[in-house]
Each structure stands twice: as C-alpha cells, then as structure tokens.
Amino acid sequence: MGLLHFLKPQRFLHVAALAQPLSSCLSSGINRIPGLLPLPEPIKAGLRLASSAPATMEDILSKSVPPLPPYETKEKCPPLPETQSLHFMHYYRALETGERATFLGKLATEFGVDHAQVTELSSRVVQAQQKRDMGTVLQVEDRLRYYLTPQYKLLFSHISKLEGGMKFLVDLRADLIESLASKLAEGPHIREMNGVLRSMLSEWFSVGFLNLERITWQSPCEVLQKISEYEAVHPVRNWTDMKRRVGPYRRCYTFGHSAMPGEPLIVLHVALMQQIASSIQAIVKEIPPSELEDGNKIKSAIFYSISLTQQGLQGVELGTYLIKRVVKELQVEFPQINEFSSLSPIPGFTKWLVGVLGSQSKESSKSDLFLDSECKEISDLTGLPFPDSLKRLFSSCEWMRSERLVKTLEAPLMRLCAWYLYGEKHRGCALNPVANFHLQNGAVMWRLNWAADTSPRGGTTSCGMMVNYRYFLENTSANSARYLRTKHIEASDQILGLVAQFKKNSKL
C-alpha cells in the first residue's frame, strides 16, 4: 500500500524532477541517496529507463519554457520549479555549436509572442479608440503590452535569478550573436530574441548595478590573468608587461556585477603622462621613469585600451559609463590633470583603402587618390608600375621597414585616413566603429598620428596610424547631443586640414 501511495500521479512529478541527479547515482551503483530511504527496485528500474532515453530538443523546450500565465492571474502565478531551468541550462551547455544554433532557432520561433492574441487585442484597441472610450483603451493597451511578451522571456527572467544564471544568459547571447554573424541561425524570430535578451541585459547591467574596481598588482591572480587574456587592443606579452600596465603612471579599471563575481565585464587602461601621447610604443613598451609616481609630472590621462570581455554584452552601454566614472576618479586623485584623451586604433582603414584602390581601373597607370609625383616616387622605390606597387605594399606591412617608403607614404596616407575617419559614413554616423564610439561620447577628433603603432597588428589594420579623441569635459554633453542629432563631427584644424587636402587632390 505504501508503494501505491508513492506512485500517485502527483508523486510522478516529483520523481521526474529527481530523475536527472538520481540517474547519475544509479549509474555509479549507488542504491541509496543520503537523507532518503532506499529506493524500491521498480523505481530504480524506471529511473534507469528514463535516464537511458536521451531527451530531444522538443522535450527540453516544452518542459523548460513556461507558458505565459493568463492576464487575469499574472500577479498570482506560482514560481517555476528551479529544476526546469537547471535542466535547460545543463542540456544547452552540452550541445555543440551547430546544435546550439538549431536549439536557439526553435526557442525563438516556437516560444515567442502569441500573434493571434496580439492581432485580436490590436483590433480591440482600434475599436475602443473609435468609440472614444479611453478607459477601455487603456485597459486593452495594458493587456496588449502583456501579451507582447515572448514566452521565452519568462524563462530568461527565471534563469537570471539562479546562481550562475546571469553568466549563462550572457554566454547564451554571445552564441546568439555568433550564430547570426555566421548565419547558422537566421530569420526575424532569432533577431527578435537577440534584441529582447539585449534589452533585458541592458536593464540588469545598468550603471546603478555596476561596481567600479581599480586593478593593481595586488589584485587576485585570476583577475589579472583574465584581464591579460581579454586584452583586445594591445596584446599583453607576459607577466612583466602586465605588471607595468597596472603599475606606476598607469591605471586599470573594470566594471563588475554582483551576479558575476570575479568576472570583469569591461576593462579600461589609462596612461598618466605629461602630455597627450602620439605613439603607443611610448605607453606599452617604454618603462616608466621610476617606481614612485610624481604627481607634478602628471598632466594628461590617456585612455589607450578599452576591451569588452563578455561578447554577450555587445550593445549594452558599458564603455561610455566606464570612461565617465574613471574621469571622476582621476579628477579626485589628480586634480591637476587638465587633458583627457584617447589614443585609439583605426581598425578597418587598410581594408577600406585596399577596397577603394581595387575599385579603380586596373588599366590606368594613374590614381585618383595619389598625386602624380607620389605615384612616380612609389613606383621608383618599389620598381613596379604604380597599381602593382600598391597591391604589393598593402598586402603586408613590410613597407614600414623602409624609411624612404615610410616618408613617401606619410602625406597621402594621412589625408586618406583623415577622410576615412571624418568623411566615410554608415547611416550618417562615422563608419569607423571606434570613431563612432568616442564621438557619441562627445569627444573631438583631435589629432591623427603617423607611425603611432609600428606593431604588425597596427601596420596591418591601419598602416601604423592612430588617432587621439580629445575629451573637453565642458563640451562633451553638447558635442554628444549634436553628433547624435545631426551627425556633426567635431574635429580639430589638423583633421579638417587633412580632409581639405583629400578633397582637393582626390576624385573619390
């Protein structure tokens, strides 16, 4: 009789919830779970059978994604069993990359918004508006807003409350972004789910929930290791290099979140100098003058690297807030600092330049981008006709080893790069993503620097050039608003002069 009572329908739900952890015990030959009575043999046999049958994607999704509660009982809906979300997380982590894309596609397509319900409520809103019944309009609009909630949003919300759940969702969105970029998963539903999750993460990772931390050589080794691995702009060569970047005349700051302890979300490296640096070699390679900082020598703060460590947080505004917080920290520590600037890479310039050169006539011995005298000098130095010499030059950064080529190419590449930063647009904004970021923050495109990054990466991506975006604190808000509203770029006389030279000498 006791066994029959145990097998009542409501007990099956409890047994099913325990099936996953119990099956691992059974596979190890354990017949008794600590704190529970020995399992009857029929129950053990049933659990072995359940654990031997692999769950399908459809099974996992149907059991893990909660239905949207009726509007009338939305405030009284009982909490979901944690086992459902934990099983979802465990199953997803075990999938391969292609399987994850398929799984996310099913989740987005089959567990989104109830479109039939939305259509019906939309028509009811129109009818209420026609009757000028504002009370009914507001009630139906509230119901419509509720039913515009995708079903999978409830799952994400529940997972976020579990230990490790926030990190799981950040990683899941990184998979979403990768699947969309590689076209493993496509379609409006998957793009919509990416947007929904981004909005949720933007709320959870808003500036009020973020913790600013300065990283020093005394910080936990695990954190220093992660920062070294995450550095995306100027790779850290070794521990000595890392020690220098958090030592005297240097600052390293991160944003963290209480739901992801020990995980830096975004990292900002700052160099404290006497003047605005024009070369990255002076920052990451030269040894600071002493082990003790002399505040009298610190007049400028240079933001030389900012790296998002969690790809799932792309589109969540972290970098802007980090720079603003760091500026305030530095103003307190060094009131004498009167210059805030970046020293930024120019990713994409070489690729853009090669594309523009390739689009020109292959038969022409002249160029619309270079002066005749520049074409002749380049041909003389390379021993090749001008178009061929350009292809050879920019296929690698070997030309940077020749002092004569470096001198000859300085003028044309400087004006071309100035135009790329200032004149090339995407939907009205600066085409270059780094430029767009700093201009949105209200910075001024201040100075273009030749031979500023002579590393292989710098030569390959931007022909060795870097740019300073200057933050004049009293004008950043106005500059940002103007750029966002009218797409106007605030630029220095040097940048505008190079742009004017480009327009005069080029036919692009």
Which whole number is the average pLDDT over 223-242? 91
**Closest C-alpha among 293, 298, 257 to residue 166:** 257
List, for residues 46-70, the tens digit of each pLDDT value. 444 444 456 788 999 999 998 888 8
Choosing among 3.30.70.360, 3.50.50.60, 3.40.50.1370, 1.20.140.90, the CATH entry for 82-113+149-204 is 1.20.140.90
Taking residues 454-473, what's their average pLDDT? 95
Domains 82-113+149-204 and 349-505 share a fold: no
The strand pairing partners of 256, in sequence order, are 211
Could you name the CATH architecture of 208-342?
Answer: 3-Layer(aba) Sandwich (3.40)
CB 167 within 8 A of CB 260: yes
Q: Residue 505's closest CA among 414, 429, 377?
A: 414
Digit-coded pLDDT (tens) for 306-317? 999 999 999 999
Report the share of the chain in percent with pLDDT over 90.
62
Q: How far apart are alpha carbons 198 and 314 in whole angstroms? A: 8
Contact by Cβ (8 Å): 289, 310: no
Rounded to whole angstroms, the Cα distance separating 349 from 412 reads 13
**pLDDT band, residue 243 (cuts 50/70/90):** very high
Take residue 103 and report the two structure tokens written for it. 């799984």
pLDDT band, residue 191 (cuts 50/70/90) = very high
How confident is the model over 317-371, as pLDDT tens digits? Answer: 999 999 999 999 999 999 999 999 999 999 999 999 988 887 765 545 556 788 8
Between CA 365 and CA 413 the distance in angstroms is 19
Residue 115 designated active-site: no
End-to-end C-alpha distance for the chain, whole angstroms: 89
Whole-number average pLDDT of the chain: 86
CA distance 326 to 124: 51
Q: Any idea where the domains of the chain sit in the sequence? A: 2-45, 82-113+149-204, 208-342, 349-505
Q: Where are the alpha helices (DSSP H) in 231-341?
A: 239-245, 281-284, 319-333
Is 0.85 topped by the overall pTM? no
What pLDDT sits at residue 72? Answer: 86
Given 3.40.50.620, 2.40.50.140, 3.30.499.10, 3.40.630.150, which CATH number is that of 349-505? 3.40.630.150
Q: Has residue 30 got a pLDDT over 60?
A: no
438 is catalytic: yes
Whole-angstrom distance, CA of residue 8 vs CA of residue 39:
16
The reported pLDDT for the residue numbered 6 is 37
From the list 305, 344, 389, 462, the catalytic residue is: 344
From the candidates 278, 438, 462, 480, give the one annotated as an active-site residue.
Answer: 438
Would you say residue 502 has pLDDT above 60?
Answer: yes
The reported pLDDT for the residue numbered 263 is: 93
**Is residue 4 pLDDT above 70, yes or no?**
no
Per-residue pLDDT band for 443 (boundaries 50, 70, 90) equals very high
